């Protein structure tokens, strides 16, 4: 979860988010090298006293400063394209969960199981317990097992929403009349918070997402309990 002191990305909780963090560091390192190089060249130009009144063209330097940016873009583009395909890949999911965006709450359907469907509303401030997080906690969390391949299918009932959980590297549009899918796998237990990332109306800020990651054994017990209700 992001806090006031969070300056960088949230801690990774899935393999996809780890890859996104690696690419972030990779791109920043390239930007740092470019910044240092350009800064050094500017300082050299400002403080040296050499002039060349007869300089009309420099074929070699023009070739260099044309090829170097192209090579730099290749070093950024190749891992970026690889990551895009990784994020879009949905490989043999074990569990499929459908999430439906409403103004202003989420509905979750566990389509692989019988009669499991519930709404997830934000907890009002006057009903919060001491351990709840203001504007982030919900009455019904999305429960999933860790180390399990999950497919999330997103859609909306009214306007465009966006189902987003930063620590999992997941951001998917929930569009009325369309189904979008994304794959996720959480590598540890815990609570993971997200929010709608598409401005969807007056209460856009009040439809948070909470994922509770538990062990597969506990998940089976929860499923059994929910099917009996």
pLDDT of residue 229: 66
> In angstroms, rounded to a whole number, what is the distance separating the alpha carbons of residues 141 and 120?
7
Confidence at residue 160, expressed as pLDDT on a 0 to 100 scale: 95
What does the alpha-carbon distance between residue 129 and residue 122 come to, in Å, rounded to a whole number? 13
Q: Which two tokens stand for residue 156?
A: 């909306």
The 3-state DSSP class for residue 161 equals strand
* pTM beyond 0.85, yes or no: no
Count of beta carbons in the 10 Å neighbourhood of residue 211? 23
pLDDT 10s digits, 174-222: 999 999 999 989 998 999 999 999 999 899 999 999 999 999 999 999 9
| pLDDT score of 1 more than 80 | no
Range 40-66 average pLDDT? 85
Contact 131, 156 (CB under 8 A): no
158-177 burial: b if 16+ Cβ within 10 Å, else e: ebebbbbbbbbbbebbbbee
- Tens digits of per-residue pLDDT, 84-132? 888 888 888 899 999 999 999 999 999 888 778 999 999 998 888 888 8
pLDDT, residue 138, reads 93
Q: Do 185 and 19 contact (CB within 8 A), yes or no?
A: no
Query: According to the model, what pLDDT value does residue 55 have?
Result: 79
What's CA 116's distance to the chain center, in Å?
A: 26
Which pLDDT belongs to residue 129? 87
Can you give the pLDDT at residue 4? 75
How does pLDDT run across 55-66, given as a tens digit for each residue?
788 888 889 989
Q: Residue 225 pLDDT > 90, yes or no?
A: no
Task: Tell me the pLDDT tens digit for each residue of 163-186.
Answer: 999 999 899 999 999 999 999 899
- 79-28-39 Cα angle (round to 5): 130
The three-state secondary structure class of 33 is: helix
């Amino acid at each position: 979860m992001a806090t006031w002191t969070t300056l960088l990305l949230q801690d990774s909780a899935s393999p996809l988010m780890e890859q996104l963090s690696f690419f972030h560091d990779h791109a920043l390192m390239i930007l740092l090298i470019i910044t240092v190089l350009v800064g050094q060249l500017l300082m050299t130009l400002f403080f040296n006293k050499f002039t060349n009144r007869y300089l009309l063209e420099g074929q070699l330097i023009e070739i260099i400063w044309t090829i170097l940016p192209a090579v730099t873009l290749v070093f950024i583009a190749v891992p970026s394209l690889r990551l895009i395909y990784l994020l879009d890949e949905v490989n043999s999911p074990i569990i499929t969960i459908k999430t439906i965006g409403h103004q202003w709450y989420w509905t979750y359907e566990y389509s692989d199981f019988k009669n499991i469907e519930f709404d997830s509303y934000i907890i009002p401030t006057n009903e919060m317990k001491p351990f709840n997080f203001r504007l982030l906690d919900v009455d019904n969390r999305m429960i999933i097992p860790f180390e399990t391949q999950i497919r999330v299918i997103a859609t909306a009932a009214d306007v465009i929403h966006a189902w987003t959980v930063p620590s999992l590297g997941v951001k998917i549009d929930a569009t009325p009349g369309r189904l979008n899918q994304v794959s996720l796998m959480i590598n540890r237990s815990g609570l993971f918070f997200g929010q709608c990332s598409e401005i969807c109306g007056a209460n856009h800020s009040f439809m948070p997402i909470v994922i509770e990651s538990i062990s597969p054994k506990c998940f089976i017990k929860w499923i059994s309990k929910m099917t009996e209700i």
